[in-house]
Amino acid sequence: MRQKRAKSYKKQMNVYHYTFKFREPYQIIVDDEIVTTCQKSSYDINKGLTRTIQAENKPMITQCCIQALYNAKNQDAINLAKTFERRRCNHREAIAPADCIQSVVDINGENRHRYVVATQDLDLRRKLRQVPGVPLVYMNRSVMVMEPLSDASAKYSEEWENKKLTGGLNDLKAGKIVEKSEEDGGEEGDGEDGAPAKKKRKGPPKGPNPLSVKKKKKGEPATGGSKEDGEKKNKRRRKHKKSGEKQGNGEEECENSGNDGEDRDDRHNENEERKVDAKEIMETPSTRENSVDNQHITDDEE
């Protein structure tokens, strides 16, 4: 039973995260009554909130709520409340805690500061259900519970999903929202277990694939991948040119000395042989040069 509840709370918190852009640590406005209730039943409110929200959170209490605790003169509850961050509400004269919380949370019908509200005041919870995106938490006997998604929140969430689905093709802005929400998904993963977000790489790769890059020569200063790439290209080009020259020379030779048909044929054969293995032919100085060059290039490439 408890696990089922935890799962549904998690699901609900995901809606607040993705649709309403809640971010950890979630800020929780606690009222004086829930503080008193927890203190009286020795219920650890911090643990309870964390178990319910299932995320990092920051309980806060408004000035008016803490004033209400002072008025009640429950020192233990006051001490407990003092451990929470104080939320300035700028009510010079303390007003009723429920009114104070509503004024802090409901700003023009919007939960602009993305507060979770933990309150025992049913009337306040009813009012805050009208504001889309207000997670509501309260103590039910000795169990901390979260209210199901309010109608206002569900409606907003549904509209948002529809906009995402239908607006994606024509509306650039809608597409952007989709993209952003996906990024957020990564962040959320990061918060949860870290694995999916860290695998994601943003931006272009920083260098060439190390497996495709030639090893550095000795004495060559360490250079960026791009320069090395350029050098590699140059060498390749040079090799092409040289081999072209070589071929051209060979052909020229053939043409120039090609008076005799037989001789020509022989040379032609020789040329063919040279093509097969340049190292083996060392007969003429020109071929040797070529072969040396060839060797040199081979060394370079290695």
Binding site for Zn ion (CB under 5 A): 62, 64, 89, 91, 100
Residue 4 CB burial class (10 angstroms; 0-12, 13-18, ≥19)? exposed
Of 62 and 291, CB closest to Zn ion: 62
- CA torsion 123-128-129-132 (nearest 10°) is 180
Largest CA distance in the chain: 124
Shortest separation between residue 122's beta carbon and Zn ion, angstroms = 20
Of 38 and 105, CB closest to Zn ion: 105
Residue 299: name the closest of 178, 218, 221 by CA. Answer: 218
Phi, psi of 53 (to 5 degrees): -75, -30
Q: Identity (one letter) of the amino acid at 13?
A: M
Q: Is 23 helix (H, G, I), strand (E, B) or coil?
A: coil
Shortest separation between residue 98's beta carbon and Zn ion, angstroms = 10
Of 53 and 65, CB closest to Zn ion: 65
Shortest separation between residue 102's beta carbon and Zn ion, angstroms = 10
Helix (H) or strand (E) holding 252: helix 225-256
Of 55 and 105, CB closest to Zn ion: 105
Instruction: Give CB contacts under 8 A, 24+ apart, made by 287-292.
Output: 290/246, 290/249
Shortest separation between residue 67's beta carbon and Zn ion, angstroms = 8
Shortest separation between residue 107's beta carbon and Zn ion, angstroms = 14
Of 62 and 271, CB closest to Zn ion: 62
Of 29 and 116, CB closest to Zn ion: 29
Residue 142: name the closest of 28, 260, 42, 284 by CA. Answer: 42
Of 121 and 188, CB closest to Zn ion: 121
What is the length of the chain? 302
- Pairing outcome for strands 143-146 and 136-140: antiparallel
Spatial distance between the Cα atoms of 191 and 18, rounded to a whole number of angstroms: 14
229 token code pair: 């790439």
Spatial distance between the Cα atoms of 251 and 275, rounded to a whole number of angstroms: 12
Shortest separation between residue 77's beta carbon and Zn ion, angstroms = 18
In Å, what is the CA distance from 12 to each residue of 113, 136, 150, 163? Answer: 18, 11, 10, 20
Of 112 and 296, CB closest to Zn ion: 112
Shortest separation between residue 34's beta carbon and Zn ion, angstroms = 16
Q: Which residues pair with 26 in a beta bridge?
A: 57
Shortest separation between residue 62's beta carbon and Zn ion, angstroms = 5
Of 49 and 105, CB closest to Zn ion: 105
Shortest separation between residue 188's beta carbon and Zn ion, angstroms = 33
